[in-house]
Amino acid sequence: MYRRLSIIMFPIMTILFIGAMYWGYQEHQEKNAVLLKAENGYQRAFGDLTYYVQKLNDELGNTLAVNASSMDYQRKGLANVWRISSEAQHAISQLPLSYLPFADAQNFLSRVSNFAYKTSIRDLGKQPLSNEEFNTLKSLYSSSNEISTQLGDLQNNIMSSSLRWMDVEVALSVNEAETENPVVSGLREVNDHSTKYSDVEWGPAVNSMYIDNTITMLSGGNPISAEEAAKLAAEFIDTDVSNIEIAENGKESDFPTYTATVKDDADGDKKLSITAKGGKLVMYSHYRDVADATLSLEQAEEKAEEFVEQHGFDNMEAVSYDEYYNTGTFTFVHEIEDDVLVYPEKITVKVALDDGEVVGFQATEYASRQRDRQLSKPARTLNEAVAALNPEFKVKKQRMAIIDGEIGEEVLCYEFTGNINNQLYRIYINAETGIEEKIEKMSRNDQAVSS
């Protein structure tokens, strides 16, 4: 009996064993293929980074080499610097650097990119490069030369020693601080070198991009107590103060807040964020599951508008709409005298599309930017603004609007909503200069909620 059983089972087990071996071999081959693809991707990205930093150095040198009055070549050179530094940042994003402190090098390239962009888009004939900006370009040229040399040496080391980026990723994930992997050490050296250039004078246009003005503006006002914050939260969501749990956040920071929480296992928790100075509500979320959508866009917008009015946000107009996971998010901006929209004073309201409940609210920008504004008379007439548009642009709606400009300053513009190339756009013409300040592509829903 056992003999007969073994005669039957032996070939079956043999087939299973061979099958397992083949499956294991296939898995091993597929794993190697994935690793090889990742390794090739990392090698290509680092090669691109080295190349772009070298090209960045060359372009900075070319821009400095021309006559100081060669405005056209300066603009062309700065535009190339912006493009190349952006490509270098893209190459960095494809490397396994999530565990490595490479932020200083990334920040350096980011500032180079923004400096070149902000400088190249202005009219150099009317506002030529200043002595300070020429000195900045010289500093950047010297800095990029040193970084390029370091990256080139590291690339040669990787190629001559057959080092693998996959080993770098493993070393970083285990212990970045103590690893002695030569690639990690080389990248850390490049990053440390980048910190030496923090004293470069980038100018106000670039520096303003790295300052959180929202936090600065929200840091004022009289301090409120935890009890006062709980009372404000209770009033907002219409519940008893005893149901509110309060936690203070960032007490010693520039932007201290209170987090108010209402626990509800059945219907989902509710959380609110209130500034500790001034007692301004800046965030509300109701964490619950949202069933399938039953409301139309118009019905959801009506619910959002009711919520906005109920909570004292007067003269707000919906300007955009996004739908995601059975919720619709409306952006409202403040409308002031003479039908002028103030985009810096905006709030967002998230509506559950199953029953119309408001499940999210964000008012940080409104709380920080809201103030009385005295509008100046536009330097350009409406007809002059219209003349700046593409002749094929079909205007459907026009009005005045205040938006944030390139360097964060508020700019009064003519806002034109219309159609060109079968697409909807908002085009903002600067009321002072008469040139395009901003162009936004609109969705059909954006047009529906703002019409």
For the record, the structure tokens of 440 come out as: 């936004």
The proportion of the chain whose per-residue pLDDT surpasses 90, expressed as a percent, equals 17
Q: What is the pLDDT of residue 288?
A: 86
What is d(CA 426, CA 440) in angstroms, rounded to the nearest whole number?
5
Q: Which of 37-46, 100-109, 150-159, 229-238 has the lowest mean pLDDT?
A: 100-109
In degrees, rounded to 5, the angle at the alpha carbon of residue 188 between the alpha carbons of residues 186 and 189 is 65
Q: Strand pairing of 394-404 and 340-352?
A: parallel
Confidence band, pLDDT 50/70/90 cuts, at residue 349: very high
State residue 91's pLDDT score: 83
393 secondary structure, DSSP code: -
Contact (CB, 8 A) for 359 and 327: yes
SS3 135: helix
Locate 39 and state its tokens: 């390794």
Whether the predicted pLDDT of 176 surpasses 50: no
pLDDT, tens digit, for every residue of 399-445?
999 998 766 678 899 999 999 988 999 999 999 888 888 899 888 88
Q: Which of 348, 362, 329, 450 is nearest to 401 (CA)?
A: 450
Answer for the pair 203, 132: CB distance below 8 angstroms, yes or no.
Answer: yes
CA separation, residue 289 to residues 268, 271, 355, 357, 360 (Å): 8, 15, 12, 12, 13
The separation between CA 102 and the C-alpha centre of its own chain, rounded to angstroms, equals 19
- For the segment 119-138, the average pLDDT, to the nearest whole number, is 81
Question: What does the angle CA 427 – CA 330 – CA 282 come to, to the nearest 5 degrees?
Answer: 110
pLDDT band for 129, please (50, 70, 90 cuts).
confident
Helices (H), 221-363: 226-237, 297-310
CA 267, 269, 272: angle at the middle one, nearest 5? 135
pLDDT band (50, 70, 90) for residue 29? low
User: Of the given ranges (112-116, 184-188, 205-209, 224-228), which has the lowest mean pLDDT?
Assistant: 205-209
Closest CA to 393 of 413, 417, 415: 417
pLDDT score of 334 more than 70: yes
The whole-angstrom distance between residue 183's C-alpha and the CA centroid of its chain comes to 29
User: Tokens 């920008």 identify what position?
Assistant: 365
Q: Which residues of 339-370 are buried (b: 16+ CB within 10 A; e: fewer)?
A: ebbbbbbbbbbbbbbbebebbbbbbbbbbbbb
State the average pLDDT for the chain: 79
Structure tokens given for 396: 């459907």
Q: Which amino acid is at 374?
A: Q
Instruction: Set out the domains of the chain in order of their start, with CATH numbers.
Output: 10-210 (no CATH), 218-369 (no CATH), 382-446 (3.10.450)
In this predicted model, what pLDDT tens digit does every residue of 360-380 receive, in sequence order?
988 888 887 888 888 888 899
Q: What is the mean pLDDT of residues 166-178?
A: 56
The model's pLDDT over 211-266, given as tens digits with 9 standing for 90+, comes to 555 555 555 668 889 899 899 988 888 888 888 898 887 676 666 888 888 887 77
pLDDT of residue 139: 84
Query: Distance of CA 221 to CAs 273, 277, 368, Å?
Result: 16, 5, 11
